[in-house]
């Protein structure tokens, strides 16, 4: 066996530049092909398949000849695709919503009465909230519906979920914890359409009969069902947050003669606040975006309940509006449904960024000692 | 120097007070369970126990609890029972009792006495304020037993004396619903039982911080058990409704399971089944895994192994979180606007696959990243110290070590998307069908681009969750339709929850192996 | 640090001490450790007295038949190689071991003559009187003031919440007094008195540890258990903590676990040496243990031949 020289400048440089040139052209070719594929696909041309084949060929050769570099490039592409997909969703949902956004302007959030502050009309009135024949689309009833159902769901899921997480993380004996926690995680997987079916077939009738309601389906029931649906998720995430609080902190309080309840109330829970509030925001996000339960339970009327606080009335949520009307919608009507999607998308995005912010801030606040 | 009153280190606990308090709590637990069942109207006022109407029976129990709690408080104050109460029950307790008194007084004033808005508001504020001040200023033992005890006695008397009967009906103004006695009685019973039990549990430990702990543990425990009980009851209910129709015509030898192996044929003599929907769901999952998982894992590798924390990574993190939290119906809209026009112009299986793949991607990206991060750096260092290149290290050391975590994430993600309905609604649809999509058999080569065609991919296919929705929109009033729906719901539950159970079990297994 | 001694003048010396003369004497001492090695005679009643203490974690024996009496208002050092059970022993003295579910404790531990493992013992009261400082500083993520006032508030010693203010029972002055006294006693008042409302996590490690000591003092304990309180600190911070411990012993009974033998020699009045297997091998006056150990193994350990 011959010893390779550890550093032989001339041959090494020569080899390097050869390899570099090869990789450079491969990268350029691959990127070009991929870009062409994407552009052609967006332009809706079946020719997109030709550069795709080119890309696959380049990748295949790259994998064979320069695996490490190819792998790195591919993983980079995959990473970049997350941004691309979010961008595509944003662009396409917005573009489809644009005609109605332009047509309605601020009246998209209009009431049947003009909204005036000190005599200045901020939002002109709409003739009716949702009229597909006159192409008047105001999202106010749907926003109200989503708001009310989310409020009810959060009022159920947040306190009960946090309390149950406290029980699991701090009080329950290990054996109970180890059996119940996976159980709760499994329960978090019950598909929403199953809840919806239950709500539609059983609960709707039950409430109709026992609360002598005027109609089948109500925002109240939707909120209740969504709250129940979000509970296991909130419990599970809040439990994770609580168990991640270091034991040293609890020990410090207990060693001062505090009861465990005082410790979890004033030390553990505040210390886990970022995670717990993330759990609640996650639950709220779910509730805002929940579609199927609302769609099958509600009676779909695109007006505000009268009077406004009547949660036992039918209204519509942003999600159920889309799911119940897409089938017979076209033209402006379909564009109007996309505006509901825009509002949903923006709301949930803001919630998710807020959750992230809270988490980072709390981490920084707590970070010093840990 | 000592600010603290020296209290006994050892407390002798077995006393009449303790026995009385446990009786209150025990009675309360029974009453609470029956009241909760009463809310579901499984048992009603017509149910009798020992010849007494159920609600009268429960109200009798509540009366006893109320009397017991009040005597516990008075006994402690007069020194009959040996306790160590604090100076006050605390502001939170006082505020909650004040609120409760406000609500009760308001209801009584407006509904029973018929006072106008000003009247009831005034009365309620007065009663609430007095209760708040009274509780806040009272010593802990009185402040935390008297109000619940009195409320319990009041509710019990109202039910026993027939002031609130099942025929009672309260139609709150501005709501299109009526609170009937048959709902109000169990709800009232449940609420007052909880509060009274809380007082009893405090008395059990002789008040003070330990009393508050026991009382809080009782309520927190009841809450946790109730949540689990409700969710499990829900599963059992679906199973009880669905197992019958799902196993119609089932036989082991020769193996026949028409509900799972048949399609929906609209013929009365054949058992309708969900075979096409099961196949559709399987194809959807396969398609989503092929499109979503490799991208997710590759991105996770790049983020953990190659990328430096910086603006690009920050942007990717925001994008991932955004994608992760985007409502599924928005994915549906995106598929409708972007994919459908480019993939044949109609709702299709491949659009469904791609949209679910987009949804699966962020789920798997987050879990894979965690899994790769969890691989100890020693592995990487050891490999690098042997002169192995970075990519070689990732391929042969990091990925195998992270594989269990990645797999777990994929399984859980698949469980989530397999139950998704909203995006499918918009991009795939596909109602009740007799034949399963034949994806493999439909591939053919053609001369013009894109050179490959597959009709099965380009048309709608049924899927379990959508089928359940289709059952609802088709109307469950038709004969057997509801039963078919329950059976579909049951099969869907079994499929989705199996994925979850598998994912969670594998996570537990690998976590335990990692810790061992 | 001027008047700590006058502040703590009437430390709890007047508590009743039960007769423990009729305690059964252990007979089955280990062959290799004669009773005379661990018998330590001192004047007055013991503050803490441990008899035949065994601790198991599952099948592992952490402590093996420990008997020891600890005098009050002194510093008792527990030394020994790592894994010898000295921390476990310390956590038995205020029943912090109860929080480790696998721990199984046999034998008796008496505090002022009362068995702390008997039924009906008030854990809260015990831990109020037997405070603890941990190895790593563990301040709560709250302000410095809240950290100190936390115990007194929760124990109802001071009432400063809104309700107390409304009903004229506001104890803010008393709370300030406790905060200042505790911080002074822990020799950290001068460093933090201008920023009491800052987050405690912003302090340095040594300051955090003294804050934890102050937090413990604010509850007004009689015994302070310290589990290697200086092991995570730099030499300067360690010196400060050591000075502090010597001062505290004028008023409190201090039991300190340390792996640093020089530290034990410097600050303690009596020293107990634990060796592997969870056994107490020698116990006596610090000077005697370090200069003239009775056991050969202890001598080897102290002179650095093993451990």
Q: What is the pLDDT averaged over residues B93-120? A: 83
Q: Are B183 and A211 in contact (CB under 8 A)?
A: yes
Number of helical (H) and strand (E) elements in chain B, helices listed first:
20, 6
- Whether residue A187 is predicted with pLDDT greater than 60 in this model: the reply is yes
Cα(A308)–Cα(A318) distance, rounded to whole angstroms?
17
Q: What is the pLDDT averaged over residues B130-135? A: 89
Q: What is the pLDDT averaged over residues B475-495? A: 81
**Sign of the alpha-carbon torsion through B264, B274, A224, B185:** positive
Cα(A255)–Cα(A248) distance, rounded to whole angstroms?
10
Question: Given an 8 Å threshold on Cβ–Cβ distance, is A248 in contact with C136?
Answer: yes
Q: What is the pLDDT averaged over residues A7-30? A: 71
Question: Given an 8 Å threshold on Cβ–Cβ distance, is B7 in contact with C125?
Answer: yes
Cα(C223)–Cα(C227) distance, rounded to whole angstroms?
13
- Residue C14: CA count within 13 A, CB half-sphere: 6
Question: Given an 8 Å threshold on Cβ–Cβ distance, is B213 in contact with A185?
Answer: no
Tell me which residue of C302, C134, C101, C104 sits closest to C215, measured CA to CA: C134
How close does chain C come to A178, measured CA to CA in Å?
A: 14
Q: What is the pLDDT averaged over residues A244-256? A: 87
- Whether residue A296 is predicted with pLDDT greater than 50 in this model: the reply is yes
- Strand, helix or coil for residue A10: helix
Question: Which band of pLDDT confidence, cut at 50, 70 and 90, is reported for residue A11?
Answer: low
- Whether residue B365 is predicted with pLDDT greater than 90 in this model: the reply is yes
Tell me which residue of A229, A226, A231 sits closest to A319, measured CA to CA: A226
- Residue A54: CA count within 13 A, CB half-sphere: 18
Question: Which band of pLDDT confidence, cut at 50, 70 and 90, is reported for residue A226?
Answer: very high
Specify the pairing of strand C75-79 against strand C253-257. Answer: parallel
CATH of A136-367, one of 2.60.110.10, 1.10.3720.10, 3.90.550.10, 1.10.260.30: 1.10.3720.10
Tell me which residue of C145, C190, C147 sits closest to C172, measured CA to CA: C145
- Between CA A58 and CA A63, with CA A76 as vertex, the angle to 5 degrees is 30
Q: What is the mean pLDDT of chain A?
A: 85
Size of interface A-B (CB pairs under 8 A): 304
| Three-state secondary structure of chain C | CCCHHHHCCCCCCCCCCCCCCCCCCCCCCCCCCCHHHHCCCCCCCEEEEEEEEEEEECCEEEEEEEEEEEECCCEEEEECCCCCCHHHHHHHCCCHHHHCCCEEEEEEEEECCEECCCCCECHHHHHHHEEEECCCCCCCCCEHHHHHHHHHHHCCCCCCCHHHHHCCCCCHHHHHHHHHHHHHHCCCHHHHCCCCCCEHHHCCHHHHHHHHHHHHHHCCCCEEEEECCCCCCCHHHHHHHHHHHHHHCCCCEEEEECCCHHHHHHHCCEEEEEECCCEEEEEEEHHHHHHCCCCHHHHHHHCCCCC
Cα(B234)–Cα(B194) distance, rounded to whole angstroms?
23
Question: Which band of pLDDT confidence, cut at 50, 70 and 90, is reported for residue B11?
Answer: low
Q: In this predicted structure, which of A153-157, A226-230, A299-303 has the lowest mean pLDDT?
A: A299-303
Q: In this predicted structure, which of A252-256, A362-366, B229-233, C88-92 has the lowest mean pLDDT?
A: A362-366
- What's the pLDDT score for residue B467? 85
Specify the pairing of strand B169-170 against strand C114-115. Answer: unpaired
Residue-range domain boundaries for chain A: 9-102, 136-367
B157-166 pLDDT tens trace: 988 888 887 7
Specify the pairing of strand C46-57 against strand C60-71. Answer: antiparallel
User: Following CA atoms A199, A200, A206, A208 in sequence, which dihedral angle do they give, to the nearest 10 degrees?
Assistant: 120
Put simply, whether B252 touches C (Cβ < 8 Å) is no
Q: What are the chain A neighbours of B326 within 8 Å (beta carbons)?
A: 89, 289, 345, 348-349
C224-240 pLDDT tens trace: 999 888 887 888 888 88
Put simply, whether A367 touches C (Cβ < 8 Å) is yes
- If you measure CA to CA, which chain B residue comes closest to C8? B1
Residues in chain C with pLDDT < 50? 1-30
- Whether residue B452 is predicted with pLDDT greater than 80 in this model: the reply is no
Question: Given an 8 Å threshold on Cβ–Cβ distance, is A251 in contact with C155?
Answer: no
Q: What are the chain A neighbours of C103 within 8 Å (beta carbons)?
A: none
Best mean pLDDT range from A248-257, B12-21, B50-59, B259-268: A248-257
Cα(B429)–Cα(B469) distance, rounded to whole angstroms?
10
Cα(A366)–Cα(C200) distance, rounded to whole angstroms?
10
Tell me which residue of B68, B65, B41, B57 sits closest to B159, measured CA to CA: B57
Q: What is the mean pLDDT of chain B?
A: 84
- Whether residue A3 is predicted with pLDDT greater than 60 in this model: the reply is no
R_g of chain B computed on alpha carbons? 32
The chain C residues in contact with chain B (CB within 8 A) are 7-12, 15, 111-112, 114, 116, 118, 120-122, 124-126, 128-129, 152, 154-159, 161-163, 166-167, 169, 174, 178, 219-220
- What's the pLDDT score for residue A39? 85
Q: What are the chain C neighbours of A259 within 8 Å (beta carbons)?
A: 124
- Strand, helix or coil for residue B206: coil
DSSP state of B10: B
- Between CA B52 and CA B57, with CA B56 as vertex, the angle to 5 degrees is 65
Q: In this predicted structure, which of A39-53, A259-273, B127-141, B226-240 has the lowest mean pLDDT?
A: A39-53
Residue C63 forms beta bridges with which residues? C55
- What's the pLDDT score for residue C9? 38
How close does chain C come to A78, measured CA to CA in Å?
A: 40
Q: What is the pLDDT averaged over residues B324-332? A: 91
Best mean pLDDT range from B171-175, B334-338, C42-46: B334-338
Q: What are the chain A neighbours of B228 within 8 Å (beta carbons)?
A: 180, 183-184
- Whether residue B7 is predicted with pLDDT greater than 70 in this model: the reply is no
Cα(A21)–Cα(A354) distance, rounded to whole angstroms?
46
Q: What are the chain B neighbours of C155 within 8 Å (beta carbons)?
A: 4, 209
Question: Which band of pLDDT confidence, cut at 50, 70 and 90, is reported for residue B504?
Answer: confident
Question: Given an 8 Å threshold on Cβ–Cβ distance, is B90 in contact with C163?
Answer: yes
- If you measure CA to CA, which chain B residue comes closest to C6? B1
Domains detected in chain C: 35-141+222-302 (3.40.50.300)
DSSP state of A131: E
Question: Which band of pLDDT confidence, cut at 50, 70 and 90, is reported for residue B223?
Answer: very high
B409-446 pLDDT tens trace: 888 888 889 888 888 888 887 766 767 777 777 777 77
Going from the C-alpha of B316 to that of each of A86, A90, B366, the distances in angstroms are 10, 15, 11
- Whether residue B229 is predicted with pLDDT greater than 80 in this model: the reply is yes
Q: Are C299 and C53 in contact (CB under 8 A)?
A: no
Q: Are A66 and A19 in contact (CB under 8 A)?
A: yes
Cα(B132)–Cα(B128) distance, rounded to whole angstroms?
6
Of residues B263 and B483, more confidently modeled: B483
Tokens of C135: 């190895």
- The residue behind tokens 């061992």 is B516
Q: Does the ipTM exceed 0.95? A: no
Cα(A51)–Cα(A42) distance, rounded to whole angstroms?
13
What are the backbone dihedrals phi and psi of residue C274, each rounded to the nearest 5 degrees, phi first?
-100, 140
């Amino acid at each position: 066996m011959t010893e390779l020289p550890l550093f032989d400048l001339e041959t090494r440089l020569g080899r390097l530049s050869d390899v570099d040139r090869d990789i450079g052209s491969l990268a350029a070719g691959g990127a070009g092909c991929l870009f062409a594929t994407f552009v052609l696909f967006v332009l809706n041309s079946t020719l997109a398949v030709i550069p795709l084949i080119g890309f696959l060929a380049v990748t295949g050769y790259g994998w064979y000849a320069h695996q490490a570099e190819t792998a790195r490039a591919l993983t980079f592409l995959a990473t970049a695709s997350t941004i691309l997909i979010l961008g595509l969703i944003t662009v396409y949902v917005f573009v489809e919503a644009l005609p109605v956004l332009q047509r309605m302007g601020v009246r998209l959030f209009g009431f049947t009465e003009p909204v005036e502050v000190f005599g200045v009309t901020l939002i002109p009135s709409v003739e009716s909230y949702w009229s597909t024949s006159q192409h008047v689309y105001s999202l106010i009833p749907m926003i109200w519906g989503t708001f009310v159902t989310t409020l009810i769901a959060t009022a159920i899921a947040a306190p009960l979920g946090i309390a149950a997480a406290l029980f699991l993380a701090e009080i329950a004996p290990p054996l109970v914890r180890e059996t119940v926690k996976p159980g709760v995680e499994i329960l978090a997987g019950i598909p929403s359409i199953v809840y919806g079916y239950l709500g539609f077939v059983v609960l709707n009738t039950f409430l109709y009969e026992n609360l002598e309601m005027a109609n089948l389906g109500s925002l109240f029931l939707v909120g209740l069902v969504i709250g129940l649906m979000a509970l296991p998720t909130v419990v599970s995430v809040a439990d994770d947050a609580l168990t991640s609080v270091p034991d040293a902190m609890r020990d410090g309080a207990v060693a001062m003669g505090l009861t465990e309840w005082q410790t979890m109330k004033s030390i553990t829970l505040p210390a886990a606040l970022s995670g717990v509030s993330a759990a609640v925001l996650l639950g709220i996000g779910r509730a805002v975006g929940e579609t199927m339960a609302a769609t099958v339970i509600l009676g779909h009327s695109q007006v505000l309940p009268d009077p406004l606080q009547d949660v036992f009335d039918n209204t519509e949520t942003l999600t159920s509006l889309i799911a119940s009307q897409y089938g017979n919608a076209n033209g402006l009507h379909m564009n109007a449904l996309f505006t509901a999607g825009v509002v949903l998308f923006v709301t949930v995005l803001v919630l998710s960024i807020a959750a992230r912010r809270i988490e980072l801030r709390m981490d920084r606040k707590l970070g010093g000692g840990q | 120097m000592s600010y603290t009153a020296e209290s006994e280190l050892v407390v002798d606990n077995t006393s009449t007070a303790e026995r009385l308090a446990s009786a209150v709590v025990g009675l309360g637990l029974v009453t609470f369970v029956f009241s909760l069942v009463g809310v579901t109207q499984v048992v009603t006022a017509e149910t009798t126990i020992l010849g007494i109407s159920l609600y009268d029976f429960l109200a009798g129990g509540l009366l006893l609890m109320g009397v017991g709690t009040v005597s516990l408080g008075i006994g402690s104050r007069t020194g009959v029972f040996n306790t160590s109460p604090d100076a006050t029950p605390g502001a939170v307790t006082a505020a909650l009792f004040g609120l409760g008194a406000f609500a009760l007084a308001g209801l009584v004033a407006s509904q029973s006495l018929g006072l106008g808005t000003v009247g009831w508001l005034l009365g309620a504020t007065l009663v609430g304020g007095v209760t708040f001040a009274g509780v806040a200023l009272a010593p802990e033992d009185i402040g935390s037993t008297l109000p619940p005890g009195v409320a319990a006695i009041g509710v019990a008397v109202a039910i026993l004396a027939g002031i609130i009967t099942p025929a009672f009906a309260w139609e709150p103004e501005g709501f299109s619903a009526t609170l009937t006695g048959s709902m109000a009685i169990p709800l009232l019973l449940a609420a007052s039982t909880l509060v009274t039990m809380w007082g009893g549990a405090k008395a059990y430990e002789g008040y003070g911080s330990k009393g508050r702990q026991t009382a809080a543990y009782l309520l927190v425990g009841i809450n946790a058990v109730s949540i689990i009980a409700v969710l499990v009851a829900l599963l059992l209910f679906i199973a009880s409704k669905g197992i019958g129709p799902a196993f119609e015509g089932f036989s082991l030898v020769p193996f026949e399971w028409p509900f799972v192996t048949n399609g929906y044929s609209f013929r009365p003599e054949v058992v309708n089944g969900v075979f096409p929907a099961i196949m559709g769901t399987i194809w959807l999952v396969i398609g989503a895994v092929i499109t979503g998982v490799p991208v997710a894992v590759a991105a996770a590798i790049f983020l953990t192994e190659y990328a430096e924390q910086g603006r690009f990574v920050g942007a990717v993190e925001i994008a991932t979180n955004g994608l992760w939290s985007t409502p599924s119906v928005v994915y549906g809209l995106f598929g409708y606007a972007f994919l459908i026009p480019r993939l044949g112009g109609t709702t299709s299986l491949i659009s469904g696959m791609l949209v679910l793949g987009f949804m699966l991607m962020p789920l798997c990206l987050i879990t894979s990243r965690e899994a790769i991060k969890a691989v100890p750096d020693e592995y990487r260092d050891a490999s690098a110290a042997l002169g192995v290149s970075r990519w070689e290290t990732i391929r042969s050391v990091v990925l195998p070590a992270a594989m269990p975590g990645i797999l777990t994430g994929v399984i859980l993600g698949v469980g989530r998307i397999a139950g998704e309905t909203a995006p499918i609604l918009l991009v795939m649809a596909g109602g009740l069908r007799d034949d399963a999509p034949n994806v493999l058999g439909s591939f053919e080569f053609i001369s013009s681009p894109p050179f490959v065609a597959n009709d099965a991919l380009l048309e709608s296919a049924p899927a379990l969750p959508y089928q359940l929705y289709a059952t609802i929109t088709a109307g469950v009033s038709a004969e057997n339709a509801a039963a078919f729906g329950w059976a579909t719901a049951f099969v869907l539950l079994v499929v989705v929850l199996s994925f979850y159970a598998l994912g969670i079990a594998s996570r537990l297994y690998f976590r335990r192996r990692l810790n061992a | 640090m001027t008047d700590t001694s006058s502040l703590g003048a009437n430390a709890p010396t007047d508590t009743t001490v039960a007769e423990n003369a009729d305690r059964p004497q252990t007979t089955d001492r280990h062959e290799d450790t004669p009773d005379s090695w661990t018998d330590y005679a001192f004047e007055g009643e013991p503050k803490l007295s441990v008899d035949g203490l065994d601790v198991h974690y599952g099948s592992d024996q952490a402590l093996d038949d420990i008997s020891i009496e600890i005098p009050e208002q002194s510093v008792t050092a527990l030394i020994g190689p790592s894994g010898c059970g000295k921390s476990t022993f310390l956590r038995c003295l205020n029943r912090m071991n109860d929080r480790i579910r696998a721990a199984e404790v046999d034998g008796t531990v008496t505090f002022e003559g009362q068995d702390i493992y008997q039924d009906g013992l008030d854990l809260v009261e015990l831990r109020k009187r037997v405070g603890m400082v941990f190895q790593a500083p563990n301040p709560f993520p709250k302000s410095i003031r809240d950290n100190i006032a936390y115990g007194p508030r929760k124990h109802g010693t001071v009432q400063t919440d809104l309700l107390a203010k409304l009903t004229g029972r506001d104890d803010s002055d008393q709370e300030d007094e406790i905060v200042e006294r505790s911080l002074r006693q822990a020799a950290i008042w001068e460093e933090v008195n201008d920023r009491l409302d800052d987050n405690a996590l912003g302090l340095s490690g040594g300051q955090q540890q003294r804050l934890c000591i102050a937090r413990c003092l604010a509850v007004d304990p009689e015994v302070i258990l310290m589990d290697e309180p200086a092991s995570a600190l730099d030499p300067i911070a360690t010196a400060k903590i050591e000075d502090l411990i010597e001062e505290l012993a004028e008023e409190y009974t201090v039991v300190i676990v340390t792996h640093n033998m020089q530290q034990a020699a410097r600050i303690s009045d009596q020293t107990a040496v634990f060796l592997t297997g969870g056994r107490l091998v020698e116990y006596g006056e610090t000077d005697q243990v370090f200069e003239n150990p009775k056991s050969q193994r202890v001598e080897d350990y102290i002179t650095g031949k093993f451990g």
